[in-house]
Amino acid sequence: MAPAGISLLGDGFHDVPPGRIATVVTHLEMTERPPRQAPRTRPGWRLRHEPALAPEAYRALFRRIGEPWLWFSRLRLADEQLAALLADPARHVWVLDSEGEDAGLVELAFDGRGTCELVFFGAIPDLIGSGVGRFMMSHALVEAWSRPEVERLTVHTCTLDHPRALPFYIRSGFRPVRQQVEIAPDPRIEGTLAPAAAPHVPLIAEAAD
């Protein structure tokens, strides 16, 4: 029997409505404080703390990083909603400066009850495979666990993300604890993202005859 509030899919195939995308979401957590270590350094790279990043700047970077993987949630927020979210004192955003270019994003949210969520984590496609993930994660872990009240660090990834994302999180010390299937409107159909975004994800706008 499923826990209260949780619906379970039965075995077999389940149709996804036209105009929607389906993804398997893996939730991970880290409950042991990692050994103290200094964040990685690399010439030309630095993480810049942005306590209240302007919505247009955040949205532009979010799109550059996430469009290949159909990141769309923040693109649907109005300016005032996004500005309020980014100004929340419980939320902390760092932007990767790569040779003077904004090229990566680390976003942490502290719930005040011992849990910190790594909400968004990524870099522009040109930097994938460069070691940028390890560089950024070393900073994220130091920042997240720098608060003595934090007992649990969480993150989630999905099957729309880069195929190395899940193994990377596991190597970084996270443990998978739950999976869900998420169905959402395809952001390419409504115009939030370009029709050519994420070519590895089929775009099915209408039901087949």
Please give the tally of structural domains in the chain. Answer: 1
For the stretch 143-191, pLDDT in tens is 999 999 999 999 999 999 999 999 999 999 999 999 999 999 999 999 9
Q: Write down the pLDDT at residue 2.
A: 56
Dihedral of the alpha carbons of 46, 47, 49, 54, in degrees to the nearest 10: 100
Task: State which H helix or E strand residue 103 sits in.
Answer: strand 101-110
Q: Give me the percent of the chain exceeding a pLDDT of 70.
A: 96
Q: Is 126 inside a domain boundary? A: yes
What is the C-alpha separation between 32 and 152, in angstroms, rounded?
Answer: 7
Q: Is 50 inside a domain boundary? A: yes
User: Which pairing describes strands 20-30 and 175-185: parallel, antiparallel, or unpaired?
Assistant: antiparallel
For the stretch 85-136, pLDDT in tens is 999 999 999 999 999 999 999 999 999 999 999 999 999 999 999 999 999 9
Q: Is 63 inside a domain boundary? A: yes
Read off the CATH number of the domain in which 80 is found. Answer: 3.40.630.30
Dihedral of the alpha carbons of 98, 60, 26, 36, in degrees to the nearest 10: 30
Q: Per DSSP, what are the bridge partners of residue 47?
A: 96
Token duo for residue 63: 């799109």
Q: Is 22 inside a domain boundary? A: no
pTM of the model: 0.93
Q: Is 191 inside a domain boundary? A: no
Domain range spanning residue 106? 42-185
Q: Is 23 inside a domain boundary? A: no
